[in-house]
Amino acid sequence: MIRNIMHLEFKNFVADPGMLVSSILLLLLISFGAYNGKIRVDNQQEKQKMVLEEHKKNVDHYTQVLQKVESGEPQDLKPWANPQNPVTTGRKIPLITTFPHTPLSWIATGQSDIYVAINSISFEQDPRFAHDKFSNPVQQLFGNFDLAFVLVYLIPLIVIALSYNIISAEREQGTLKLVLSQPVTLTKWLFVKLVFRFSVIFSMIVFCILIILPILDLSFSYMDTLLLLLLTGIYISLYFFISLLVNLFSRHSGTNAVILVSIWVFFVMIFPATIGLFATTLYPVPSRVKQLSEMRSAEKEAKEEGSKLLASFYEDHPELAVLEAPNEDEALKRYNTFWKTKYVVSKDIEEHTQPIIKHHAQQIQLRRDLSGILRFFSPAILYQESLNEIAGTSSRHYLAYQQQVQNFYDTWRKTISEKTFRNQKMTKKDLSNLPQFTLQTNLVKKNLYVNTVMITIYAVILLLLGILLRKPVDKMI
């Protein structure tokens, strides 16, 4: 009997033109979403490659200059242009860090449209204030069309279209009595129909993803791809079980469709927006204007203190102070004096503005913590966050990257500052031995497996509710 039900479902599927349209639409949506993601990743990688190549040329140039200076070849270099000066090295050869991409970065934009993937930080520029990325705010508001958008937002609509009338259609057509008069229970009949329709949707998704991998030349890893398909299967089954519950308690197809679409709107649109609004209201971030005003006041006070250590004229025109120096070594010392003063001033500014920055960061973190707790009430948020983590574009990845960049910058700057305070010259060997940045991905705290378990729990609960709350056959008819 199960084979007969499957056979009839297949015949209905083939005969229904809407199914063919849904299949073609699904292929186009997945292909277009993956293509957009690939273009985004390729553009970022190309920019990173160009920046790193330019940085390498810059390093090679100053390495050659250092080699010529050390060999005694005459060079017409002022101290502020001489790479033997550690500060000049820190300014002319800025620190370059790039955010790495995972094999499946193309599936989800995540936070990559907000955070920068390339950091170019000089000796005098703190990475916390070095972000100059400009983006279209309207596009950021509505998000990017990628594979994650298709899977999280659009696939559930196709599931709803295939399952909203799984029982009500038979009842409205008068065939439900005929079906139940056969030697098959209502539970088994519903189970077979759900399994078949789930298999159709899931198979089409797997087929579409596997076929576009070689066509679009997409990068992938076997484990991450399997995890992506597993998560997608669980997420799709969840909507099928919701449709089952609605069909059990509603007799009309139109009512079912309205209820299911309302549930979809609530979980993928209203609830996430409510979380954001609630977190913003509960933990407001201090005014940016007020923050900048306080930071500028602290900077002004620090500079006034620094002026006592160095004449105002030399602060405004350090190159002129060097020109008046009696010899090159003295010029280097006096030039370093300017940067020593500036370094002390910057440290003083950091100390005065630290409470402001810390309070701002605490409020943002409290928002993230609250959103992290409330996300468990929305399978759509859990699924989206899981896709971001598979893609390596989650907020956790970028925050870990930013923190490691900041820590490395402090180490890098300290190395150059120590040589400056000691009036030591930078050598070719010193240049090659400067600290190099390497992102430690193992420090990223991931919620991927927790999210997967939670989505699975939701699906199991809905399935059990459907089994426990099913109505007697006479009431279903």
**pLDDT at site 227:** 92
Look up residue 395 and give its amino acid: S
Which DSSP symbol is given to 114? Answer: T
Chain-centroid distance of CA 307 in Å reads: 44
CB 229 within 8 A of CB 113: no
**pLDDT at site 172:** 77
To the nearest 10 degrees (0 to 180), the angle between helices 222-249 and 253-265 is 140
* Beta-carbon count within 10 A of 368 CB: 15
Joined together, the tokens standing for residue 442 give 């193992």
Is residue 396 within a helix (H) or strand (E), and if so which, with residue range? Answer: helix 395-421
Q: Which residues of the chain have pLDDT under 70?
A: 1-2, 74-75, 79, 125-143, 288, 291, 295, 299, 301-334, 441-445, 470-477
**pLDDT at site 303:** 65
**pLDDT at site 148:** 93
pTM for this model (two decimals): 0.84
Look up residue 403 and give its amino acid: Q
CB 236 within 8 A of CB 159: yes
**pLDDT at site 238:** 93
74 exposure class (CB count in 10 Å sphere: 0-12, 13-18, 19+): exposed
User: Which residues, 6+ apart, have CB-to-CB distance to 266 below 8 Å?
Assistant: none
CB 29 within 8 A of CB 154: yes
Q: Are strands 118-121 and 95-98 parallel, antiparallel or unpaired?
A: antiparallel
**pLDDT at site 142:** 57
**pLDDT at site 317:** 46
* Calpha distance 390→368 (Å, rounded): 19
* Cβ density class 347-364: b for 16+ within 10 Å, e for less: ebbeebbeebeeeeeebe
Angstrom CA distances, 335 to 87, 111, 126, 131, 311, stand at: 9, 42, 21, 29, 13
